[in-house]
Structure 1
């Protein structure tokens, strides 16, 4: 498959089409944040999963039950991914936690008005590159990374 078959460009960023169909992007655009929501914001391969484990523990006062009984993608959903609306995040009690790889300029109008809490994680770009290179090599829904040098060009240009 070509890159154009695998990705959709949204606000200047390439997203995997199968995770971000038009209806999921519309759902995100219309989503209403609450002031006590917690949004985990990371660049891909920068510790998102770790934060999806840690933040719910903090929000639950250390109660392990949610972490041990609910998968992280349901516990801390990605609002821009196609399965978000079936989880009914609007009906969840506060405080709610969400994850995203979206940049600030990709945030919806509600985020900008309500200003939920944000936990931003930044990882050494060399480590992000290494982790991404190996992940792209095993994830069938992403473009083949090619050689490390080829992937580095894509990585540095943001075309991945």
Structure 2
């Protein structure tokens, strides 16, 4: 197993910013504009959002954010594993890190929106294997054929 260092990240490093930019460009390439809910760097710096990056040596391997919805609920945002590190368990590590962090903050549930098309299949599979179940849209989202909504008690 690869040694991974998950760090609180202030979004100032070039590798982190590049992975966020790649994530955004991929979301825009695979979803209609009204169905892209990925956060840009300024939005990831909002006070209600905490952002982490996963590092393998000197390379950024993945990113993830936790957005506080209220005292009991958090939303998983901007989860992405760099293509070079896919299949190595980085996504699962990031997801479990966010679950543990949300629990330590006293949250009782996590929520997320992901795409419904084939490119999002691996992410959806990971979320469901980690106990997330499909649910109706939660605010501010609405029904969208290109989105799926999931939640999990923590």
Query: Do both proteins adopt the same fold according to a TM-score greater than 0.5, normalized to the shorter chain?
Result: no
**Under a length normalisation based on structure 2, what TM-score does the superposition of the two structures give?**
0.23
**Which structure is higher in strand share?**
2
**Under a length normalisation based on structure 1, what TM-score does the superposition of the two structures give?**
0.23
Greater relative contact order structure (CA < 8 Å, 6+ sep): 1
**Which structure is higher in helix share?**
1
Report the structure number with the largest CA radius of gyration. Answer: 1
